[in-house]
Chain A
Amino acid sequence: GQQLNQSPQSMFIQEGEDVSMNCTSSSIFNTWLWYKQDPGEGPVLLIALYKAGELTSNGRLTAQFGITRKDSFLNISASIPSDVGIYFCAGAESPSSGSARQLTFGSGTQLTVLP
């Protein structure tokens, strides 16, 4: 089955620094999503990417859909304490109408922001 390799597993950074994390897949995805999960809560959608090569920003977050369709990265600029949490990438196969959007998740990147 499909597998996503997400790296790094954890990061410790100083407040104000930029962060980068990425995911690679053994197969092609047609949608890449990035979620953030805080302790005891469900994942919250940060950015959705639907086209190979697409670069999308959401405030201090920027994500790109790799042109091979097998990878994606997420950058966080000027990190702040509330950026702490676990970041997950997720990929989905072509979402034709009627097909399920089964997401395959990476294993997460635990981000710690030090003051």
Chain B
Amino acid sequence: DTGVSQNPRHKITKRGQNVTFRCDPISEHNRLYWYRQTLGQGPEFLTYFQNEAQLEKSRLLSDRFSAERPKGSFSTLEIQRTEQGDSAMYLCASSSQGANSPLHFGNGTRLTVT
């Protein structure tokens, strides 16, 4: 078990372009989360999957953002028509279904929109 894996680690894109990030959770975890973290702040919740079902979405997740987890394993987060304000660290986390199962985070994808 290598923990939560995120790719790419860094992404630089021009404003208006689309980007996609991938997250591979810990293999036995059926819950997967996306968070966003800006400089000097703690992570903020974006969305959550249980298996392949997207069960919750934050109001931070605008229409330009879409997340999928088609087979209940890896997940992708796509941002369309990127804006400079999208620049942040995008963190993925996973947990098992137990009531007290803590979240384990990956090392994130650092997005810079120029």
Contact = CB atoms under 8 A, between A and B. Distances in A.
Interface of B: 4, 6, 31, 33, 35, 40-45, 48, 50, 55-56, 91, 93, 95, 97, 99-108, 110
Given A45-B102, A101-B95, A107 B40 contact: yes
Contact of A100 (B44, B56, B110): B56
Contacts, number: 69
Interface in A39-71: 40-45, 48, 50
A95 interface: yes
Contact of A42 (B4, B31, B101): B4
Contact of B45 (A35, A43, A96, A102): A102
B108 A108 contact: no
Interface in A91-115: 95-98, 100-108
B98 to A, nearest CB: 8
